[in-house]
Chains A and B, each alone.
Chain A
């Protein structure tokens, strides 16, 4: 059963949080939303994989993050080939005609839609941010400021897809992380 509550542990966290009774439910919802949105854009199926992945060790993926609120972050890693396939499906154009900008545009829109759906399902009374790409250096800094709430790995056309939800370790006086 899904639970809605304000985080009592930190009084600075006044906004409703995306918290479940167990990690499995949170992962299930993350996966369901990711799959629904991926498959609304692409003919490729998103299939859950029974494995774990450490973002900090997986530079080969393309990483994008988005603040759901001041204290919650969604991070998505996707293989570039899968990103190109997504762009080809979204634009309805052959892969070999697409630019890197097209691929990044498609991935950003994917993350934007996933976060939009999470925001609709768990309104936090805050605007979620626009997705941004992560470099290995900025990923290090960001991950150091976050605690992972849940994550999952999936396959799309045999390529890796990873999505995780994080919570800020500390909320600054202005209420943000980074």
Chain B
């Protein structure tokens, strides 16, 4: 995983670098640039997965850097670490495709939450789903999960959205190609790798739950559904929704806390999704999620 830090302050470069190193990821490569121009050169040569940039820099601002990266056809995730907080600037940045804005000074957890979707996307992609060995094999390790109430889910998810949403229980269906791409969160206990709960958002529910800021227009959501592409900023918001659902599930179970093992997207392989949700012995709960613009989004909670 290659991350480029861009800041004209050497002190801030080091603080961001140490923050990333504290996250404890393996194979984390970090490069530093002190100007937009240097960053652009380095991005072309080094092809980082993620750029963490300051906003205010002499000669080239962080936003101008984003535009230059786009002109150079470099498909690199970018987020800002900045003191900038004006809603207009934040909108400019998110409209231009910035994944997040972390305010200085930040704590490690905030930085982690911001970069996590990119790190997970780079690190695991769909591979976690292929790893059958991660699934618990013996019946006695299975979590005895009671179906979370749709009202509880609705109340929790409402905290993340600006629009009213409704969540209701739904009959189980066979997976459909129209559900793809899906966002999938894998959860286990106490940071262990055994998967105890899997939460799936089909593209509609991902867009309903993830495109929750006013900066994401209906036109953009329609285009994403038509093109079957979930934008990066929506995936980042879906991670929060996945966490929120895991908190609801946590309330149903005793003492132990579910933590996210990984998040991934499943883009084209419906058979893989069918294998996941149709696995023998898996407990499955389905929900419909809707808002005033979209209905029939599907949330699936699986207990392998």
A interface, CB within 8 angstroms of B:
37, 40-41, 87, 90-92, 102, 105-106, 108-109, 112-113, 115-117, 119-120, 123, 125-128, 130
Contact = CB atoms under 8 A, between A and B. Distances in A.
Contact of A109 (B11, B85, B89, B103): B11
B228 to A, nearest CB: 37
Nearest to A107: B11
Contacts of B103: 116, 120
Given A113-B105, A120-B103, 11 more contacts: A40-B105, A92-B14, A108-B9, A109-B9, A112-B104, A113-B104, A115-B83, A116-B82, A116-B84, A116-B104, A123-B85
Contact of B86 (A106, A115, A123, A130): A123
Interface of B: 9-12, 14-15, 18, 56, 82-87, 89, 103-105, 107
A106 B11 contact: yes
Given A113-B105, A120-B103, A105 B89 contact: no
A41 B105 contact: yes
Nearest to B89: A127
B83 A91 contact: no
A146 to B, nearest CB: 22
12 contacts: A87-B11, A91-B10, A91-B14, A105-B10, A108-B9, A112-B83, A112-B104, A113-B83, A116-B83, A119-B85, A123-B87, A130-B56
B73 to A, nearest CB: 31
A127 B90 CA distance: 12
A117 B9 CA distance: 18
A80 to B, nearest CB: 16
Contacts of B83: 112-113, 115-117, 119, 128
Given A125-B86, A127-B86, A102 B10 contact: yes
B62 to A, nearest CB: 13
A91 B9 CA distance: 10
Contacts of B84: 116, 127
A91 B11 contact: yes
B105 A37 contact: yes
A102 B11 CA distance: 7
Contacts of A125: 86
A67 to B, nearest CB: 13
Q: Which of B12, B82, B105 has the most CB of A within 10 A?
A: B105
B269 to A, nearest CB: 44
Contact of B18 (A92, A105, A113, A116): A92
B214 to A, nearest CB: 17
A121 to B, nearest CB: 10
Nearest to A36: B105
Nearest to A90: B11
A21 B107 CA distance: 32
Nearest to B18: A92
A87 B9 CA distance: 11
B14 A90 contact: yes
Contacts of B105: 37, 40-41, 113
Contacts of B18: 92
Nearest to A106: B11
Rank and list the top 4 A-B pairs by shortest CB-CB distance, nearest first: A116-B83, A90-B11, A40-B105, A120-B85
Q: Which of B87, B89, B104, B107 has the most CB of A within 10 A?
A: B104
Contacts of A106: 11
Contacts of A128: 83
Contacts of A37: 105
B29 to A, nearest CB: 19
Contacts of A87: 11
Contacts of B9: 105, 108-109
A28 to B, nearest CB: 20
Nearest to B8: A105
A119 B88 CA distance: 14
B304 to A, nearest CB: 41
Contacts of B86: 119, 123, 125-127
A144 B210 CA distance: 51
A123 B86 CA distance: 8
